[in-house]
Amino acid sequence: MTKLAVTTIGSWESENVTVGQVEKALTDLRRHQQRAAVRTSVLTLVAVVGDDAEADAARSIIADLGARHPSRTLIIVLDDEPHAPNCTDAAVWVHAIEREGRAVCFEEVVLRVRGKARHHLDSVVEPFALPDVPMVVWLPVGLPSPGDPLMRAADRVVVDSRAVAEAAGDVLARSATLAKRLPVADLSWMRLVQWRTMLTGLFEGQLYRPFLDAVDRVEVHGNHGPRYLLGGWLLRRLNLPPARVQLARDDHVSVVIHAVSDGRKGTFTVARRGAEREIQSRVDIEDGPQVDQTVRMREQWPSLALASALTRVGHDEMYEEALAGARDLRLAEGGE
């Protein structure tokens, strides 16, 4: 994704402000904006983070989206200080990017929320929602708690199950609960597209297709989220019992499918070996052909992954099926 030059048309910041004061600041900046650029917002994007470092990272990613997804962006920084007073600090910017000979604007608001308002973010964000466009809530490193009122204001949610600490509980079970309420785009699942595409491609052709209906067992290695998502996907798509899907921790994703068709064993592998950004696939048929291929991993810049997630509309049925399969695997292991 090519970065585009961003020009800041105007900015404003203040401490201990009201929502009304922030809205007025946006209005005043827009008056200046209307003389300089075209305002074209396709959504309201709300990012919820826990500290300044996460806020800076989110701002950088959003800036890289450029004119592809011009939006009004709210970054909510939650101050967890238990004795902090009820107050909100704000910073507002209006930016412009040159696109096809004209300047396209997008707005950015950072709110540091302290006190009781942290538990009622729906009332914080709703005044900033643009009419007739969706509100997408992005949680870069977390998942909402059950009953989080912010979810009532959201049309879609973007999460990254790989980035959520395992100490937060069964991340995928919580993601499944969330997906029953709202369309969810999981960046961890989206990163696995290349593995899923390559696995599917291994079974194309008359020689290999019969093995897909004769899978004996599957091995999936990787970090917690990816291995359970891929394992759950294969469990459901291949209609396997959980005992036939073996999971193991590893730094990189690999999948091995063992099948027996017409008395011949077949092994189908897609794996990343080591730190190289390459994925290797291999088909090994007993008394038959061996086919190897190596492809470069697609670039997965954070802004590219988020841009793809923002284009998703409606429920991702394949992802939700993978979550259901992941839960089956957890239950078979004795998890909750």
Mind listing the pLDDT tens digit for each residue in 76-123?
A: 999 887 777 889 999 999 887 776 666 677 889 999 999 888 888 999
Task: Please tell me whether residues 32 and 106 are part of one structural domain.
Answer: yes
Q: Is residue 161 one of the residues assigned to a domain?
A: no
Q: Is residue 177 one of the residues assigned to a domain?
A: no
pLDDT at 146: 81
Least confident of 32-46, 186-200, 201-215, 281-295: 32-46
Give the structural domain span for 220.
191-296
Task: Please tell me whether residues 121 and 237 are part of one structural domain.
Answer: no
Whether this model's pTM surpasses 0.85: yes
Task: Please tell me whether residues 254 and 121 are part of one structural domain.
Answer: no
pLDDT, mean of residues 165-174: 72
Q: Is residue 181 one of the residues assigned to a domain?
A: no
pLDDT at 1: 47
- Report the distance separating Cα 2 and Cα 118, nearest Å: 36
CA 245 centroid distance within chain: 25
Task: Please tell me whether residues 136 and 203 are part of one structural domain.
Answer: no
Least confident of 8-12, 27-31, 199-203: 27-31
pLDDT, mean of residues 15-21: 93
Task: Please tell me whether residues 114 and 228 are part of one structural domain.
Answer: no
Q: Is residue 327 one of the residues assigned to a domain?
A: no
CB 220 within 8 A of CB 329: no
Average pLDDT, whole number, for the chain?
Answer: 88
Note the helical H segments in the chain: 19-36, 52-65, 121-125, 150-153, 171-179, 187-191, 193-201, 209-212, 224-237, 302-310, 317-332
CA 76 centroid distance within chain: 18
Residue 38 banded pLDDT, cuts 50, 70, 90: low
The yes-or-no verdict on residue 69 having pLDDT over 90 is no
Residue 256 banded pLDDT, cuts 50, 70, 90: very high
pLDDT, mean of residues 121-147: 91
- Percent of the chain exceeding pLDDT 90 equals 62
